[in-house]
Structure 1
Amino acid sequence: MRLLFICLVLSLFCCNYASAQSVRKTESFDANWKFMLGDDSLAKQPAFNDGKWRTLDLPHDWSIEGSFDEKNPTTQGEGGLPAGIGWYRKTFNVPSSAKDKNVFIDFDGVYRNSEVWINGHYFGKRPNGYISFSYDLTPYLNFGDRDNVIAVKVDNGDQPNSRWYSGSGIYRNVWLTTVNKTCFTKWGTFVTTPQISNNQASVHISTTIRPEGKGLSLKTTIYNEKGEAVTSNFSPLKNSSDTTLASAYNLTIKNPQFWSTDHPYLYKISLQIMQGSRVLDNITVNTGIRSFEFDAQKGFSLNGVHMKIKGVCMHHDLGALGATVNTQAIERQLQILKDMGCNAIRTSHNPPAPEFLDLCDKMGFLVMDEAFDMWAKKKTKHDYHEDWAQWHKRDLEDQILRDRNHPSVFIWSIGNEIREQFDSTGISIARELVRIVKNIDNTRPVTSALSESNPHKNFIYQSGALDLVGLNYHQEVYADFPKNYPGQKFIATETMSALETRGFYDTPTDTTRHWPQSSKVPFKQSNSEFAVTAYDNVAAYWGSTHEETWKVIKKYDFLSGLFIWTGFDYIGEPTPYPWPARSSYFGIADLAGFPKDVYYMYQSEWTNKPVLHLFPHWNWKPGQLVDVWAYYSQADEVELFLNGRSLGVKAKQGDELHINWKVKFEPGTLKIVSRKNGKIVLTQEIHTAGLPAKIELSADRKSINADGQDLSFVTVKVLDASGNIVPDADNLVDFKITGPAQITGTDNGSQISMESFKANHSKAFHGMCLLIAQAKKIGGTAIIYAQAKGLQPASLVLNVK
C-alpha cells in the first residue's frame, strides 16, 4: 500500500509538472520563411503568390550576403554593404485547440522600420532596429486547417542611418507564444534583492497578470543550480475586474550563493498562476543574488569586494555572420574576452540581443546596457533622430522592462556622445530619460557616455540627473577627477581607440603616433597595405594607446574602471583609412576573432595566469634592426636568446607593461624564457619561416548540434614544411564540406578584404583565415576540406549530433 501511495503521489506530481510545462507554449518561429529583396506593396495581402521567393530560416541579415562597394548608399562608415527594402512572409497553421487561448508573436529585433501584417490586418511600425516588440495575433487568426499568412516589410532604404554596420532584415529571433487567457503580462515580472547578507537574502518579486475568472492564486518556487527548491510561496489573488492585476511579495533564501564575475551563480524562479489545482500559466525567471556599489573615493565593489571594471565596448555584428544573431558566435566572442580577463561589456550603442544578456548572466560579465547613439539631434542624415519624438519613451521603457531581471546588467546608459550635451536641451531630455528609467527600475545607476569632459560645459552633466559620470576618452583629466567632479562617481565609458592590424609591424616603436592627427588635418596614407602596426603605439587623435590609459586607470582607486574601444574589430568605421578599408582597426581581436598582440598585455594585467608573449614574427631582411616586444606576468624577469645566444635579462621597471629589445635580424630562432625565483615559468620560440608548404585546420568545437544553427569556428593556418606559420602567406584557400554541415562564413581579419563573407574561399592574411561551419538539421559526420595551389591540403572531421 505504501508503494502504491508513493506511486500515486509521483503520478500526480508528474501530471501537474507536465501541465505546468505545457500551459505556456513558446516555440521558435524562425523556420521556413519566404524572402524577397525589393519592394512590392501587394506582398502584405494573404493571397499574394510568393512561390518564386527564396525560402530561408531566420535570423537573417541580407546585407552581409552582398558585395562591398563604395557606391553603396550605406557609405564606408557603415561598411559599404548594400541595404534597401526586403519582405518576409510565412504561412502557418494554428491548431483548433488554441481557439480559447491568446497567441503572440515576439520579434527580438528587426533592422529597421518594420511593418507587420497578419492575414491582411496591419499591426503597425517599429522604426528602432534594436528594440524587441510583440503583437497579439489572436483576434485575426484562422484556426485548424485554415492557413495564416504573416508578412513583414523591412525598410532600411533611407541611408545613411548608422555610424557602423547595422545589417538589414529580421536579424534576431522570432517566437510564437500560445497561452491561456489568464496569463502573466509580457515583461511584467520584476525580481530584486533588497537585502543581502551571507546568512540570507530577501528576494522581492512583483508581477502583473491578465486575470480572467475567480479563485486565482500565485505559486512561486525558487530553485538552486542543482534543481533543488530552496524556498516557495503560495498567495491567493484578490478577485478583480481590472484588465491587469499586480502582486508583490518577498521570499527568503538562507545561506545564499552570490552571483559574481568569477562565480556567476544563478537561481531559477518558477511562477505559476493557479486556479484550484489547475495551472493556468507559468513563467521562469533566472536571477542572481549580488550587491554592488560605486563609491566616489573607493571605486567599484561587487558583493563587498573591491574590483576594477575591466570592460570593452562591443558593436552587435558577429564578423562574417554580420548582424545575424547566433548564440554560439556570441559565446565564442565572450569566451575569447573572458580568457583575456575581461569582466564587463558595454553594448555600444544600442540594446543587445536577449541571447547576449543570457550568456553574460551565465558566463559572468557585468553589462552597461545602452539605449541610444543620438537623441533629437542627428549624427547621420536618416538616423533615429527622425523617430525620436514619437518613439524614444516607448523604446526606452521596453528596453528597461525586457532587461531589468538580468543580474549581469549593472548600469543603464541613456546615450553615447549625445549632441545635446553641448546645449541646454540636454538638461531637460536627460532628466526625462532618467525619470523613465527610474520609474521602471531604481536599483541600478544611470549614466550617459560624455565626450565633453569639462563639467561646466556639459549640459547633460549639468542636469544633475546622472548617478554616475561616464567619460569618453580624455584620459589626461582622470587623475584630477575628484577635483573637477567633487563627490561624483566615475566610470570611463569609452577609452583608447588604439589602432592595430593583426600581424603587421613597422618600426621604430619609440614614439606614439596619432592617425589622424586631428579632425582638421587630413590623414596621409602611410603604406599601400592600408595597415596599422600591431605594436601598441598608434591611436586616433581623440584617444590613446592601450598602455597609456590602463596605467592611469589601475593607479587610482576612485577610477572604478573602463570600457575599451573595442573588444573586437567590427564592420564599418575604418579609421584612419579611406576606401577600400571597410572595417575598424580598434579591436583587441580582429574581425575573425584572432587576438592581436595587445590581447596578451591585457591577459598579463587582467588575469592571474602565467603569460608570456613574444612578438613580432622572425622573417625580416638580413641585418634589419627589429623592435622585439614581450608581455609577461607571474615572473620576475625574462631572458631573450637569438640562435642560442643570450641577448640579456630584463624586467619591467616602474609602471612598465612590456619590455623590449632592438635586435639585428639573422635567420633562425628567437627564444624567450620567463623566470620566478630563478625557476623557469614559461618559454616561447619564434622561428624564421620558410615557404608556404601546407594547410593546418583546427576547430574550436569538433562536435556540434544538428539544429540548423550550431557553429564550429575553424582556424586555418598556412605553414612551412617544418610547421611554422608563414607570416606573409596570402594563399587563396578553397573550402568544401561534405555531410550534414555547410559553409556559413569565411573571413581573414583583413580590414580591406573585398571577398564576400559568404564565399567558399578566403585568402590567408598574415598566414591565417577562418571558416565557419554551420550544422544542418540532420546528424552524421561532416568533413571539411581545405586546399590551395601548391600546398598540401588538409581535412577535419566534424561530428554533428
Structure 2
Amino acid sequence: MGCNAIRMSHNPPAPELLDLCDRMGFLVMDEAFDMWQKKKNGKDYHLDFKHWHRRDLEDQIRRDRNHPSVFIWSIGNEIREQFDSTGTRLAKELTALVKQLDSTRPVTSALTEQEPDKNFISQAGVLDVLSFNYKHAEYPKLPQRFPGQIFLATETAAAFETRGHYDLPSDSVRIWPLDGKTKLTTGNLDFTASSYDNARPYWGATHEAAWGAIKQNPHLTGTFVWSGFDYLGEPLPYPWPAHSSYFGVIDLAGFPKDAYYLYQSEWTNQPVLHLLPHWNWRPGQTVDVWAYYSQADEVELLLNGKSLGTRKKQGADLHVLWRVPYAPGTLQAVSRKGGQTVLTRTINTTAPAAKIELTADRSKLQADGKDLSFLTVRVLDAAGNLVPDAANLVQFAVNGPGLVAGVDNGYQASLEPFKADSRKAYNGMCLAIIQTTEKEGTITVQATADNLTPAAVTLTSTAAPGAFSGKEQASQSHAAKN
C-alpha cells in the first residue's frame, strides 16, 4: 500500500522482524517501553521498571543498533510521567542511556500532550524529535508551541473497519464511544464497523481526516497509522464476543480493507482505482459509491452502461462519491487523465454462491517443519464474482507432508478456533495456513463446502539448499560426539 516505515509498538520487536525490515527496506522506529514507573494496568512493566529498565534498554540498543532499518529510538509510548516532574528526570536518564550506546540516531517518545506546560517529558529538552499521538486538530499550533523542533506523528487514525461491511450514509461519522465514560449503545448488533471509513473512537479520526492533517501540515515529517493489522485484544468499540481490534488497515486474516487503497492512492506512484462497496443491495435503496484513485484527473461511474456522471476530488477530499439508486447489474468506474483512460474497475451483482477459488501466496516451500503457505479462499458465483455475503463453512483436507497450521476469516467477533481444519467464510473470504513437515514431497490441499464446486492447490516441499536429511544429521551428530 506504499508504507515505508513501521513503528514497533510498544516493546522491543522480534529480531527476525528487524531482519526482514533490513532486507525489505522498511524504516523502523524501535520502541522500548509502554510504561515507566507509573502503571497503566496492575500487572504491567511498572512492577519491574525500577530494577530492570536500565538493563532492558541497554540490551535492546546493543542488540538492534547494527540493523540499518532502525532510524530512530523511542523511549516510551503515552507515558504517564508526562504529567509530573518525574517525566523530566526519567526522560533525561533514558535518553542518556541510549546516547551512550548509540550517538548516531535520534531519540523520541510518543507523547499525548501537545502543550509545553503540560508535558514534563518534552520539558526535559533531550528528545531529538517530538512525536505526538492523535489530536490532529492541534497540529497547526505545534511550531509556535515548540519553536525549532522536529515533529513526527507516532500514532494517528484508530479508525474502525470490518472488511466488506458498509453502513449508510457514508458521510455520517459514527463516534464509538462518544467519550471515555459513555457506554456504546448505538453500535451494530452483529459487532461490525463500516468499511466506508466512517467509524472512529472519540480520541481518533477517520483515515482520511488523519492523513489529510499530515498533508496540510508539512512540519509533520510523517505518520504512523494505528494500526497496520487488526490484532488480538483491545476489541474496541465492542465487548465480547469481539476479541480483536478493529483498527487495522488489513484484517486479522491478512486481507486488505478498503482503507488500504486510500493509502495506496496517496503513498504510491502507481495508478490506483478502487471502487466500493459491493453491488448486492435492496431494489431502490440509495447506495453511496466511493472511488479511491490516483494518477488521473477524474473518474466516471456507469451503471449498466449508463453514465452516472464524472467526479473529481475537491479540496482536501481523498475520494469521490456518487449516490446511486440501486439496480442490479454492473457498476463500472473509469479513471481518465487528459481524456485518456487510465484504469477501469467493475463490480457485478452476484448470483448465488457456486464455487470455491483457492489460491496460494507461495507454492514452493522448504521441508523444514516451519515454512508456511497462506491460502486464500474466495466464494464465487458461477460467473466468477465474489459473493459479498457468503458464509459457507469451508473444510480443508491436506494430502502429503503438510498440515493446517491455522485458519481465519478476519471477522473480529468470530468465536471459531484458529487451530482447526475448517472455517466459515466471512463476506465471501477465509484463510488457511499450510505448514510443512520435515519430509519432502507434494502437498495437495483441497477446499470443500456443501453445494459448492471444490477447489485444490498443489504445493511442493523440498529440502533447503545445504540442508541435511535426518539420517545425515544423525551421522553428523554422532561424529561430533566422538
Which of these residues, 444, 467, 470, is aligned with residue 783 of structure 1?
A: 444
Q: Is 1:480 aligned to residue 141 of structure 2?
A: yes
Are the counterparts in 2 of residues 525 and 577 from structure 1 also a CA contact under 8 Å? no
Q: Which amino acid aligns with 1:438?
A: K
Q: Which residue of 2 aligns with 1:606?
A: 267
Are the counterparts in 1 of residues 134 and 204 from structure 2 also a CA contact under 8 Å? yes
Q: Is 1:362 aligned to residue 23 of structure 2?
A: yes
How many residue pairs get aligned? The number is 462
Distance 2:25 2:74 in 1: 20
Distance 2:44 2:219 in 1: 36
SS at match of 1:689: coil
Q: Which residue of 2 aligns with 1:694?
A: 355
Q: Which residue of 1 aligns with 2:299?
A: 638
SS at match of 1:459: coil
Identity of aligned residues (%): 63
Q: Which amino acid aligns with 1:763?
A: K
1:525 CA drift (Å): 4.2
1:466 CA drift (Å): 1.1
TM-score (norm 1): 0.57
Which of these residues, 50, 54, 58, is aligned with residue 393 of structure 1?
A: 54
Q: How does 1:334-413 map to 2 (within 5 A)?
A: 340-413=1-74
SS at match of 1:401: helix
Q: Which residue of 1 aligns with 2:205?
A: 544
Which of these residues, 81, 85, 88, is aligned with residue 424 of structure 1?
A: 85
Q: Is 1:683 aligned to residue 352 of structure 2?
A: no
SS at match of 1:717: strand
1:683 CA drift (Å): 0.5
SS at match of 1:368: strand
Q: How does 1:466-505 map to 2 (within 5 A)?
A: 466-505=127-166
1:557 CA drift (Å): 2.6
List alignment gaps of at least 5 residues for structure 1. Answer: 1-339
Are the counterparts in 2 of residues 746 and 762 from structure 1 also a CA contact under 8 Å? yes
Distance 2:46 2:320 in 1: 48
Distance 1:616 1:438 in 2: 50
Which of these residues, 422, 427, 446, is aligned with residue 766 of structure 1?
A: 427
TM-score (norm 2): 0.95
Q: Is 1:508 aligned to residue 169 of structure 2?
A: yes
1:511 CA drift (Å): 2.6
SS at match of 1:456: helix
Q: Which amino acid aligns with 1:691?
A: P
Distance 1:451 1:350 in 2: 18
Distance 2:244 2:198 in 1: 20
Distance 1:510 1:385 in 2: 42
Distance 2:452 2:40 in 1: 49
Distance 2:204 2:380 in 1: 37
Distance 1:373 1:691 in 2: 49
Are the counterparts in 1 of residues 114 and 142 from structure 2 also a CA contact under 8 Å? no
RMSD, aligned CA: 0.9
Distance 2:186 2:172 in 1: 18
Distance 1:401 1:535 in 2: 44
Q: Is 1:558 aligned to residue 215 of structure 2?
A: no
Q: How does 1:596-745 map to 2 (within 5 A)?
A: 596-745=257-406
Q: Which amino acid aligns with 1:592?
A: A
1:555 CA drift (Å): 2.5
Q: Which amino acid aligns with 1:694?
A: K
Distance 2:156 2:201 in 1: 11
Q: Which amino acid aligns with 1:362?
A: R
Are the counterparts in 2 of residues 746 and 769 from structure 1 also a CA contact under 8 Å? yes
SS at match of 1:530: coil
Q: Which amino acid aligns with 1:628?
A: V
Q: Which amino acid aligns with 1:371?
A: A
Q: Which residue of 2 aligns with 1:535?
A: 196
Instruction: Report which of the two has the higher share of strand.
Output: 1
Q: Which residue of 1 aligns with 2:469?
A: none
Q: Which residue of 1 aligns with 2:418?
A: 757
1:513 CA drift (Å): 2.3
Q: Which residue of 1 aligns with 2:473?
A: none
Q: Which amino acid aligns with 1:458?
A: N
Deviations 1:695-749 (A, max 9, x none): 1101111111111111111000111111111100111111111101111010000
SS at match of 1:742: strand
Q: Which amino acid aligns with 2:310?
A: V
Larger-gyration structure (1/2): 1
Q: Which residue of 1 aligns with 2:479?
A: none
Q: Which residue of 2 aligns with 1:126?
A: none
Distance 2:309 2:276 in 1: 16
